Structure 1
Amino acid sequence: MAEPFDWGLLEPAGAVGVPAGDDRVLAAMVAVEEALVGAWDELDGSAAQPGYAPLGFDAAAIDRARLVAGAREAGVPVIALVEQLREQAGAHAGRVHRGATSQDIVDSALVLVSRESLSRARSALAAAAAELATRAIRSRATPLLARTLTQQAEPTTLGAALASWLDAVVSALEVLDRLEYPVQLGGAVGTGAAFARLAARADAPQTLRAGVAARLGLSDPGRAWHTDRGPVLAIADAAARVAAVAGRVGRDLGLAARDGVLLPATGGGSSAMPHKQNPVDAVLLTANSLRAPGLLATVHTAALSSDARPAGEWHAEWQAWRELLRIAIESAEVLAHAIPDLVVVERAGSTVNADAADLASAGAVVDAAVARYRAHAEPDREAH
């Protein structure tokens, strides 16, 4: 088999993006096919028969080279995947992929990968928020000269600056917490006609969709959304939001390092200037944030669907969607490392003339941001 195209050479934080990689997408597609078999078994009553054995598949046994070749021939990976899954099923091959279409499998698999990827990103964002809240309180009275339009402006505090980052991170957490992860199951043209015909039951499309959703831990949207890319747009927007929030902090961290106010405690070598300690986390966060809008634009452009399945738009969506998930994970985890790694630099002879009113106003910003964070975090603590 050919070597993988992307193994992290030019993706410095790429190791943490593995949950959105090809192996995970393949495993998710296999899981969707397995869930569909289970839903059918429940629908037709075979699951209730004595000696029933659920049909399981081995994703690790899938021949990747054969799968890639099949994807090139068919334009989608599912046909070649189903062929191999039916081989694994042996005498039960007829139970595999009954009534489904390629879009059901790919869309549901990418939603499944999205849920897992953004759950990981959320955990890292929550860790970053907790550290920001602690540091904002600690630095609530540390004077800092704010800048507007790159120029020195008015006195504030480091605590207020950290509180502004905290507010942005909490906003991203709120977006993630509102997300829905719906299963997609509609058959060839979204009507589920093949399900109804094969089961000889008019309610088969609805029953199977609910069964697959339950087995995968996804929501049942009560419909097929194959040409309504709203669910995809919501997920992509949330992933881009994570990258944007982390990138905003990264940009500020880079400028603070330039000014000698905040420096990373670790990392940051230079191939040409050994004396340098570059703010690597800041650079990576900024870079990811700059990459995300182009990918998001592709997903939004691909939402201009047509017919019961468009020729090209759906296909264009896959990699952009997956890359946004990868960037969201990377950005969240780099941010979770960057905040506790910060060192506040006390520079000799530097003074910021912050009076009591300045400190009081900045302190109020800290209090409001920390209160908002705690209100949001409280349900998480109760859940655990």
Structure 2
Amino acid sequence: MTDWGLIDPGGADATATDDEAVLAALVDVERALLRAWGSVLDEFLDAQADALDSAALDRDALRAGVERDGVPVVALVPALRAQLEAAGLPADRLHLGATSQDVVDTALMFVARDALAAARASLVEAGRGLAVLGQGARHRPRIARSLARHGEASTLGVLAAGWLDGVSSAVAAIDAVEFPVQFGGAVGTGAAADAAAGRPGAADEVRAELAAQLGLADPGRSWHAERTPVLAAASAAASVVAALGRIAGDATFLSREEVGEVRLANAGGSSAMPHKRNPADAVAITAAAVEAPGLLSVIASAAIAGDERSAGRWHAEWSALRRLARLARSASAAASRLVSGLEFDADRAAALLADSGPAGARPDRDVLAAASDRVVDRSVARFTRLTEPEARA
């Protein structure tokens, strides 16, 4: 049975990143490749592309193929070819000029792109909420903490602005990623595609058409053993989770009964203590943030690749990249919920400040207000530039 989230709070949102989504993406790549060849060869291959049906594929046979061959595409291609033949359509153009890595790499870029796009949308929602919090609490004083001890006076607005800066950085990390197609054939030269078309440079034409069909980037090259595109996507996902992990950690601590500067509306229950209201969204984000660095290390280790196509290292990327994309999407959705139900208790924050011992806890109010205005305004302006198209124009 496929995992369905029973013990996976950090990756609870498996939308578009589960095995069914990956299989659909693999078939989408083969479908787009047929259409790309149709454009390059000036042939009508839309009927073949439309006949491919991921829902009708035998999952048990595909699982057996992965166990036997080490990759899913070896069993997938004959199954798709059988669909075409059953429909009375020629199958000679299916998978033409491609190798398994072309299809898997492109499909996983497709999955990662969509998952990080969904994460970005949730980040923007969370960021807008943080901007409102920051602007509304810019002159609400609190004690800032340094190395787990009281430091100097700050404001609740500055706290929210710091969180917003992390969200902005996560959005920027996603925006910086190019999600490229992969098309190089057996050893990355594109020779099979050139031979199939009967002219040099056909592989470049097919790759460009494939990118256009899928809405991915054309890298102008094959990157079978040059794995920085995967590392870039994985790093962006990890950056998202890390930025949100900081927010979750602060919210968890500041919502403790003995602190109380933050109130959380969306709370989970306890099986043993009915009076408890656990910070469920913050817990889920923290779980994702604890897991993500290990997954990123897998991607970084696999990036050394080797040969023209790597044995084993490439294979280790698949689940790690897919999992990082899922964690980023899940954590971002949880962050949006967390922020939507988060409130500051300005009176409690002021009381903690008044009880603090450090001399810096009693600053000049005008100086503090001016400093807070500067921090909050800059944070909100940066977020707006990154997320509002009219602000970027």
TM band (smaller chain): over 0.9
Letter matched to residue 84 of structure 2:
A
Q: Which deviates further from its counterpart, 365-374 or 331-340?
A: 365-374
1:337 Cα deviation after fit? 0.7
Output the TM-score relative to the length of structure 1.
0.94
2:181 maps to which residue? 183
Deviation string 1:205-245 (CA, Å, 9 cap, x unpaired) is 11111111111111111111111101111100000000000
SS of the counterpart of 1:24? helix
1:20 maps to which residue? 17
- Give the whole-Å Cα distance in 1 for the aligned partners of 2:164 and 2:95: 46
1:363 maps to which residue? 373
1:351 Cα deviation after fit? 5.0
Q: 1:99-248 to 2 correspondence within 5 Å?
A: 99-248=97-246
Whether the 8 Å CA contact 2:266–2:280 is kept in 1: the answer is no
1:114 Cα deviation after fit? 1.0
Whether the 8 Å CA contact 1:263–1:279 is kept in 2: the answer is no
Residue 86 of structure 1 pairs with residue 81 of structure 2: yes
Letter matched to residue 201 of structure 1:
R
Whether the 8 Å CA contact 1:146–1:154 is kept in 2: the answer is yes
2:296 maps to which residue? 296
2:55 maps to which residue? 60
1:9 Cα deviation after fit? 0.6
Distance 1:32 1:349, change over 3 A: closer
Point out where structure 1 has 5 or more consecutive residues left out of the alignment: none
1:8 maps to which residue? 5
Whether the 8 Å CA contact 1:243–1:288 is kept in 2: the answer is yes
Deviation string 1:110-131 (CA, Å, 9 cap, x unpaired) is 0011111110000000111111
SS of the counterpart of 1:374? helix
1:263 Cα deviation after fit? 2.1
Whether the 8 Å CA contact 1:101–1:187 is kept in 2: the answer is yes
Corresponding pairs, count: 377
1:74 Cα deviation after fit? 0.6
Letter matched to residue 313 of structure 1:
R
Cα RMSD after superposing both structures: 1.8
1:276 maps to which residue? 276
- Give the whole-Å Cα distance in 1 for the aligned partners of 2:350 and 2:202: 76
Instruction: Report % sequence identity.
Output: 46
Output the TM-score relative to the length of structure 2.
0.92
Q: Which deviates further from its counterpart, 104-113 or 274-283?
A: 274-283
1:354 Cα deviation after fit? 5.2
SS of the counterpart of 1:350? helix
- Give the whole-Å Cα distance in 2 for the aligned partners of 1:53 and 1:141: 64
- Give the whole-Å Cα distance in 2 for the aligned partners of 1:194 and 1:380: 46
1:350 maps to which residue? 351
- Give the whole-Å Cα distance in 1 for the aligned partners of 2:266 and 2:170: 27
Letter matched to residue 114 of structure 2:
E
1:378 Cα deviation after fit? 2.7
